[in-house]
Structure 1
Amino acid sequence: MLKLVIANKLYSSWSLRPWALLKAFEIPFEEVTIPLRRPDSRERLMEYSPSGKVPVLVDDDVFVWESMAIVETIAERYPDRAIWPRDAKARAHARAISNEMHSGFQALRQACPMHLGARFATPVLTDSLQANIDRIEDIWSEARNRFGGNGPYLYGAFTAADAMYLPIVTRFETYGVPVREATRAYMDTMLAHPAFVEWRTAAFSEEWRIPDYAVGHTLIESYV
């Protein structure tokens, strides 16, 4: 059985991506959680990851770190599942936007760290932050309009691209980011996905907390 090494569900956006993908496609796996910012966190992480970071997919004696590499490994291991869209043009587009997610949007990452356990006031929308938001909304709109068909996800059915952007959905929600009507509809679809509902429920029951996480943001409401 596959093993997925992750960090705290409340905060770990990168852990959420492959976890949600595996759950959405009903691929069985063992979960190993190593909470962040604890005295033994680094030592435990180095048992699985040469980068000292999560997530890590363990397949027997093969260790795969970096989310996009994990996604591609899952797609190769389960070719019968539509991890990527079946249509070649849609698949190329999905890979492109997923890699853009993997490497970009630093302003949004820094201004709106993932935190499922609270609601914060919207941060100042600097030019760089607004540019990130606009670009993400354009990506979602283009994917939906070109390839979404009658389905509710970016390419109709749930794919790796949706999993890659799921943490962005939570960031928009947590910080009350103003978005377009179509963006809000996609967000509602993603937030209601059974995989995310399961993740969030488990996150709320975690015993690990990082009190200074999202420090500097104005707290509106706490859920945990």
Structure 2
Amino acid sequence: MIRLHGFALSNYYNKVKFVLLEHDIPFEEVFVQPSQEDAVRAHSPLGKVPWIETDEGDLCESAVIVEYLAARYPDRQIFSADPWEAAKERELIAFVDTHLELVARNLYKEAFFGGTITDATKARTEKLLAHHIAGFVRLAKFAPYLRGERFCVADTAAFVSLPPVGMATQAIYGRDFLLDAGIDWKRYVKVVGERPAAQRVSADRKAYVEAMQQQRT
């Protein structure tokens, strides 16, 4: 049994969870928040989530975990059986995770958590995102999924990561960079959200947010 460690507010946790649910891979969820405590870093060296616990040991980094799942459960066909299509799916995941979400993450402290970021950070992030989103537009099809008519593993990454990118840019710059580039991520998320696995991920995330809000009141 795979044990997935993390929490429902983490989009990378939710990406792995989406893959597990979508491909009917049995797993157990273990609530853990990012931490620099030794008890966490013993399993995830940087103290990040998610990580999975397997019979062989622990494994961290969401992209690596998805690759492991694809290799361990080849019958589930997590990636396309066609080598070119599988490579294009990996390419899209890299764009979403590294070139979009990881860059936009520089904004989250102020956009979502009440902190403050410097004007230099805002300027640098704006420049990078504009460049990266333009590249993503040339790559993704959104017809209606990233690769076209067929849902693929890249959509699990985009489903959980495009919303915070759009919302963060709206909060910091007063405009949604994705919408400005012609990416109707709300429509896209609605389409992907019709899948039972996506609905489960969204419902669990909503429940977590509501529970946190109740604790603050």
* Distance in structure 1 (CA, Å) of the matches to 2:70 and 2:39: 27
Q: Which runs of 4+ in 1 moved over 6 A?
A: none
Q: Does the 8 Å CA contact 1:108/1:133 hold for their aligned counterparts?
A: no
Q: Which residue in 2 is equivalent to 1:153?
A: 145
Q: Does 1:205 align with 2:207?
A: yes
Aligned-partner Cα distance in 1 for 2:194–2:166: 13
Gapped regions of structure 2 (runs ≥ 5):
114-121, 171-175
Q: Identity rate of aligned residues, in percent?
A: 23
Query: What secondary structure, in the 3-state scheme, does the structure 2 residue paired with 1:30 have?
Result: strand
Q: 1:46 aligns with which of 37, 41, 47?
A: 41
Q: How does 1:84-163 map to 2 (within 5 A)?
A: 84-105=79-100, 106-112=102-108, 126-141=126-141, 152-155=144-147, 156-163=149-156
TM-score after normalising by structure 2: 0.72
Within the candidate set 192, 197, 213, 1:195 is matched to 197
- Alpha-carbon distance change, 181 to 73 in structure 1, aligned in 2, over 3 angstroms: closer
Root-mean-square deviation (Å): 3.2
Which of 69, 73, 82 lines up with 1:74 in the alignment?
69
Quick one: distance in 1 between partners of 2:137 and 2:161? 11
Q: Separation in 2 of the partners of 1:14 and 1:24? A: 15
Matched residue type, 2:164: R
The number of residue pairs the alignment matches comes to: 192
Shift of 1:45: 1.9
Give the aligned residue type for 1:109.
Answer: R
> Is the Cα contact below 8 Å between 2:97 and 2:161 reproduced in 1?
no
Answer whether contact 2:92 2:140 (CA < 8 A) is retained: no
Say if 1:35 and 1:208, in contact at 8 Å, map to a contact too: no
Which consecutive unaligned segments of at least 5 residues does structure 1 have? 118-122, 212-223
Q: In structure 2, what is the Cα distance between the partners aligned to 1:5 and 1:204?
A: 18
In the superposition, relative to structure 1, how do residues 87 and 42 fare at CA in structure 2: closer, same or farther (>3 Å)?
same
